[in-house]
Amino acid sequence: MVKRQVPKPSELFELMHFKAPELNGRKRRLDAALTIEDLRKIAKRRTPAAAFDYTDGAAEGEFSLGRARQAFEDVEFHPGILRDVSNVDTSTTIFGGPSAYPFGIAPTGFTRLMQTEGEVAGASAAGAAGIPFTLSTLGTTSIEDVKAANPNGRNWFQLYVMRQREISYGLVERAAAAGFDTLMFTVDTPVAGARLRDKRNGFSIPPQLTLGTVIDAIPRPWWWWDFLTTPTLEFASLSSTGGTVGELLDSAMDPSISFDDLDVIRSMWPGKLVVKGVQTVADARKLTDLGVDGIILSNHGGRQLDRAPIPFHLLPEVVREVGNDTEIAIDTGIMNGADIVASIALGAKFTLVGRAYLYGLMAGGRDGVDRAIQILTDQIVRTMKLLEVAHVAELEPRHVTQLQRLEPRPRP
């Protein structure tokens, strides 16, 4: 028989501590978000459907994006034992400079339409965290304003080579003058992918107002207040705007882009030149032989060619082929710090996150971006400690197994 007694009030108070209520609604929401998926749910509640779907969606059936995320879920880790991981070092070097963590913020277009603080929030948060920030050609904050928001951090510029080459050349010159240290020459957008959510939503700059748009905005007055009371939304690095996403890309991009364009841009750019959108081992080899400073395995977040290769699955083979000769980064599908750890273990030098950052931005502006970065960095540190790895340089293929779902059939 268990002896029972009436609890003493003093003992109860020792066991129970009431948490003081958080009166700041934004802080309360963000503190409750423990994962990037939590931030995504907040973002969906707070952002009109057209803007949210632009971030959340991908091309056609969205198979590429779904497969990329599944690939990271299909990972088995192999931890060591009895190693001192009281302190772990997450720092690395990439493209000639430092980063406090093995990830940076990927280039994203239309960013101020997601939330009015846009690239300024992303760049300043990246600078505070000690990681690189990448500005898109289709960004909604100018090159110079991004530099002002992140004056002492690393800023990178993602370049589309347009039909009017002079526009692209001018952007290269401005990025160099502003002190951006790395240029991402993007090769996977000869034309726009079929982003069906955007077509159905009439997504454009400026937004196309319909009855459905207005109805969708009614429960989100804060978004429209921010949108209407802040500077006019435009592609800050370009001289002309307007039209749907696909129309803009089709007019700005050029299907005739070639290796000759790579040579021209390379001759103009004083910093590190990396090629983004590599999706085959053969192209990785060719670019490496041409002497580029790095390659980024990417299928554009599943937003261009649907059913494209999964970068994370492609990674080990590319590392075997060119990993000793050039630096390899990877993006697409990263939603957890463990995804980043797995990528580094399989040979990537660095990773880039796009949607994860934008979910934070939509959930809470600069504070939301800080929260997204904190979630990812906490997950990186915890995963490394549980693997019993004290430095990112110690991560190796032996720490990871890629579990296989999709097996290619023999070719005829």
**Residue numbers annotated as active site:** 300
Instruction: Kindly report the backbone phi and psi dihedral angles of residue 384, in degrees, each rounded to the nearest multiple of 5, phi listed first.
Output: -65, -40
Task: Let me know the angle formed at the C-alpha of 331 by 124 and 340, rounded to the nearest 5 degrees.
Answer: 80
Contacting residues for 38 by C-beta, under 8 A, at least 6 apart: 32
The answer to whether the Cα torsion of 314, 249, 168, 159 is positive or negative is: negative
DSSP per-residue string spanning 274-336: EEEEE-SHHHHHHHHHHT-SEEEE--GGGTSSTT---HHHHHHHHHHHHTTTSEEEE-SS--S
Measured distance CA(186)–CA(312) in Å, rounded: 19
Query: Among residues 171, 134, 170, which one has the least CA distance to residue 150?
Result: 134
> Which residue shows structure tokens 């090769």?
187
Q: Which helix (H) or strand (E) holds 197?
A: helix 196-201
What would the two tokens of residue 33 be? 């978000």
Q: Under DSSP, is residue 388 helix (H, G, I), strand (E, B) or coil? A: coil
Query: Among residues 49, 174, 95, which one has the least CA distance to residue 352?
Result: 95
DSSP per-residue string spanning 221-240: HHHHHHHHSSSPP--TTSS-
> Which residue shows structure tokens 């991004």?
146
Measured distance CA(179)–CA(146) in Å, rounded: 11
